[in-house]
């Protein structure tokens, strides 16, 4: 039986800001339609790694990369159409970043930019994305209101809806729950469990128990190096391969 090709395949990735190398030749794969957790202390290179996936690292002066980053089989460093790459990879930042537009226009912004003009198509897409983000029932009667007037948790779910409006193949979330309450966090976690049926999800989190609840596989990144990658139940079980993994998930350091 042939093993399916991974959604993300990273081999010997190195990233440096000037002379300071922050990713030291890391390699790993992310299976399709899985939730892949990335855990590790602050300054381990987790956010920098995400920025290599959709090449927003290109915006950082002095940043240099080497190695191979493949998304759905394509080498991202050789892609000429970087906008198409960023359409395929949705990104959700730690803090909700709402556009100064209505709820409707926040979600419709990217499809319009991609050339969608049909009102009925936009209406359907906005509703679908808001439903996927578990926000539709709360905002359906105020789609014309400013998105920035929503609560923090609602704004974060609006950010997810906006990321989904690109119809991405991969959704990356970088500490999505850092500024929202536990109830909203659990609602979004339920959303992610549903979304992984149709896309691949990469979840960067400092909350080890969040990775334990959600991730199918987890990678422990420390000081720019991969300590261990494997099924989540193994990393959080009694016998992870590396003792540093055991100490980190048990809160000995981090």
Q: Which residue's structure tokens are 């709360």?
A: 138
- The whole-angstrom separation of Cα 42 and Cα 207 is 11
Q: Where are the domains of the chain?
A: 8-249
Task: Give the span between the Cα atoms of 246 and 234, in whole angstroms.
Answer: 10
CATH number for the domain formed by residue range(s) 8-249: 3.40.50.300
Q: How confident is the model at residue 1 (pLDDT cuts 50, 70, 90)?
A: low
pLDDT tens digits, 47-98: 999 999 999 999 999 999 999 999 998 999 888 888 889 889 999 988 777 7
**Integer angstrom CA distances of residue 22 from 2, 25, 63:** 35, 10, 10
* Structure tokens given for 119: 């009102």
Q: What is the chain's alpha carbon radius of gyration, rounded to the nearest angstrom?
A: 18
Model-level pTM?
0.91
For CA atoms 15, 37, 185, 53, the dihedral sign is positive
Q: What percent of the chain has pLDDT over 70?
A: 98
């Amino acid at each position: 039986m042939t093993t399916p090709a991974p959604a993300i395949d990273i081999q010997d990735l190195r990233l440096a800001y000037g002379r300071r190398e922050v990713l030291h030749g890391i390699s790993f794969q992310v299976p399709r339609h899985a939730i892949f957790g990335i855990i590790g202390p602050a300054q381990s290179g987790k956010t920098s790694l995400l920025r290599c996936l959709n090449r927003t690292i290109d915006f950082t002066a002095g940043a240099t990369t080497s190695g191979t980053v493949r998304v759905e089989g394509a080498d991202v460093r050789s892609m000429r159409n970087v906008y198409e790459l960023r359409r395929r990879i949705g990104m959700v930042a730690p803090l909700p970043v709402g556009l100064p537009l209505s709820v409707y226009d926040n979600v419709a912004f990217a499809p319009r930019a991609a050339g969608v003009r049909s009102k009925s198509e936009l209406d359907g897409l906005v509703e679908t994305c808001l439903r996927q983000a578990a926000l539709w029932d709360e905002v359906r009667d105020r789609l014309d209101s400013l998105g920035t007037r929503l609560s923090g948790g609602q704004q974060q779910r609006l950010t997810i809806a906006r990321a989904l409006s690109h119809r991405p193949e991969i959704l990356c979330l970088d500490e999505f729950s850092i500024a929202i309450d536990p109830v909203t966090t659990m609602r979004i976690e339920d959303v992610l469990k549903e979304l992984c049926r149709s896309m691949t999800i990469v979840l960067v989190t400092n909350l080890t128990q969040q990775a334990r609840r959600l991730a199918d596989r987890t990678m422990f990144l420390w000081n720019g190096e991969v300590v261990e990658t494997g099924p989540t139940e193994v990393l959080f079980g009694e016998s992870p391969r590396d003792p540093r993994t055991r100490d980190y998930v048990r809160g000995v350091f981090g």
